[in-house]
Amino acid sequence: MGRFTWREWTDALAAEIAAARARGDATTPYYEHWLAALEKLVATKRLVSSTELLQRKDAWDRAARATPHGQPIVLQRGQ
């Protein structure tokens, strides 16, 4: 907690949405902008390495695919 300020977060998200608009992208879901902003902020702040971030993304993807629809996704430690 406290790794970045609310202002940093809102600036990162706004920049992500503005970049998409500048590309003429009107179809990307809000969640994907939100996630891209978070990933860039985490990388900029060096809160995790790029390797660790990729490992986490892969783990979440595997967990999501293994979870039946409508059930909560559970990410096990060490996945």
What is the pTM assigned to this prediction? 0.74
String of DSSP letters for 7-51: HHHHHHHHHHHHHHHHTT---S-HHHHHHHHHHHHHHHTTSS-HH
**75: confidence class by pLDDT, cuts 50, 70, 90:** confident
Going from the C-alpha of 8 to that of each of 46, 68, 72, the distances in angstroms are 14, 35, 29
Asked whether residue 79 carries a pLDDT value surpassing 60, the answer given is no
Summarize the confidence of residues 51-75 as an average pLDDT: 92
Residues 6+ apart with CB under 8 A from 53: 39, 42, 43
- Residue 78 has a pLDDT of 62
Nearest alpha-carbon partner for 41 in 79, 4, 74, 1: 4
Using one digit for the tens of pLDDT, what is the confidence trace for 4-59?
999 999 999 999 999 999 999 989 999 999 999 999 999 999 999 989 989 988 99
The Cα angle at residue 52 between residues 59 and 71, in degrees rounded to 5: 20
